[in-house]
A = this chain, B = another copy of it.
Amino acid sequence: MERRTQVRGGWRGDMCNARFVGTELCAPSRGTLHPRATPVTSPFALLQEILVGKYGEGSKLIYELQDQGGELLALRYDLTVPFARYLAMNKITNIKRYHIAKVYRRDNPAMTRGRYREFYQCDFDIAGQFDPMIPDAECLKIVHEILSDLQLGDFVIKVNDRRILDGMFAVCGVPDSKFRTICSSVDKLDKMPWEEVRSEMVGEKGLSPEAADRIGEYVQLHGGLDLIERLLQDPKLSQNKLAKEGLGDMKLLFEYLTLFGITGKISFDLSLARGLDYYTGVIFEAVLLQQDNEHGEEPVGVGSVAGGGRYDGLVGMFDPKGRKVPCVGVSIGIERIFSILEQRLEASEEKVRTTETQVLVASAQKKLLEERLKLISELWDAGIKAEMLYKKNPKLLNQLQYCEDTGIPLVAIVGEQELKDGVVKLRIVATREEVNVRRESLVEEIRIRTSQC
């Protein structure tokens, strides 16, 4: 029984030894999607030898992860690039969409932090030519809503803009050609101290120490509208066209976020850079704040749980005529969120109901399999979530124990006397109370009693 709660497919470890922990696309406490079965996923790819000799003549259709001739393919790395390509191919200039699906990275998985080679992403994107920062603000509102509703603890959504970063690099004396690589150094500031990032910039990437130091002054800044106003007055930044545009939009964004009532969790943070190349404007990242645990130690944190930004150039890269469709989107790290929810659930030792089954159809005596089948069929046809043990003559005790183990709240017991009387004995598992219910009222009775649960 225990394992029924551990069913998320994760393609983990170097040996592709697909072990499963967690639940499929639903938080552990949310139960299953189908009344009569547990959802289980399996890894999308397996060692080739596992699939050999299982399918008969169909085997020739097995898709191997090696060159079988034909196009050179690669697995989806995120949901953003395929979405941009989809817009270009279908000439869509205006859409709001979400997509929950798996992406693939040739990485070394870190399971405790919810990082795998194959994992779900949950993306939300708004594409189209609109007035500035309105869709951007909605993306942030949605991240705020999701993280609040899931009660993941305190969080902050860091916000920055690629134009502000590029403007900052320019006024600090970074050569144009080094913008992206210096940007990716700045991106490491959430994991490394400034001194290390500085020495990477200067030592590895050949930036002048003066430029690095000027960057160092900016990237330690974070705040809200006040900081934006201050930077709009900054003698150097205010002279840079890109930075000024970025700061103007950032101000607008904060005004909209104020109307949404969420600025309390938003931090304009000049150290936020985001690793991906395709962002062109606003970027953001939601980070869970460490909870103080009882020992005062640093708990293993999961860090970033959502990120995104504006990518106005990506669709144009796939359009034969280079037509641009401005886009802004967010990706929710649902695997990481699940791993936090799971850890919390384990810590709380809360008992999770592993089934949505409303009633077990049981029998008190032998030779009643046919009667159980007839009754369960009636219940299924009426839309009741019912189960029975797949035994000809199960012991009543085993049937009741099964309900205790899985959390099924009701037992509908057929016995010879009940059949004669035209009733079914309904047992409430929690209280052990038993009532005789007329057969024609059983469905209604089960509905009433389970709607209270």
Taking beta carbons and an 8 Å cutoff, which residues of A are in contact with B? 3-4, 7, 14-20, 24, 33-34, 36-51, 53-58, 60-68, 70-79, 81-83, 85-86, 89-90, 92, 95-102, 104-107, 117, 124, 126, 128, 130-131, 134-135, 137-138, 141-142, 145, 180, 184, 255-256, 259-261, 275-278, 314, 317-318, 369-370, 373-374, 377, 380, 390-392
Residues of chain B with a CB closer than 8 A to A43's CB: 76, 82
Kindly identify which residue among B39, B73, B76 contacts A97, using a CB–CB cutoff of 8 Å: B39
Residues of chain B with a CB closer than 8 A to A278's CB: 54-55
Closest residue of chain B to A45 (Cβ to Cβ) is B73
Residues of chain B with a CB closer than 8 A to A63's CB: 65, 74-75, 77, 104-106, 117
Whether B58 contacts A72 by the Cβ 8 Å rule is: no
Kindly identify which residue among B20, B73, B74 contacts A86, using a CB–CB cutoff of 8 Å: B20
Q: A44-B75, A44-B102, A63-B77 are in contact. Are A50 and B85 (CB under 8 A)?
A: yes
Whether A126 contacts B20 by the Cβ 8 Å rule is: no
Residues of chain B with a CB closer than 8 A to A145's CB: 380
A16 smallest CB distance to B (angstroms)? 6
Residues of chain B with a CB closer than 8 A to A126's CB: 390
Kindly identify which residue among B38, B79, B180 contacts A96, using a CB–CB cutoff of 8 Å: B38
Whether A74 contacts B99 by the Cβ 8 Å rule is: no
Whether B259 contacts A106 by the Cβ 8 Å rule is: no
Residues of chain B with a CB closer than 8 A to A33's CB: 98
A340 smallest CB distance to B (angstroms)? 22
Whether A48 contacts B72 by the Cβ 8 Å rule is: yes
Whether A85 contacts B46 by the Cβ 8 Å rule is: yes
Whether B4 contacts A55 by the Cβ 8 Å rule is: no
Closest residue of chain B to A11 (Cβ to Cβ) is B73
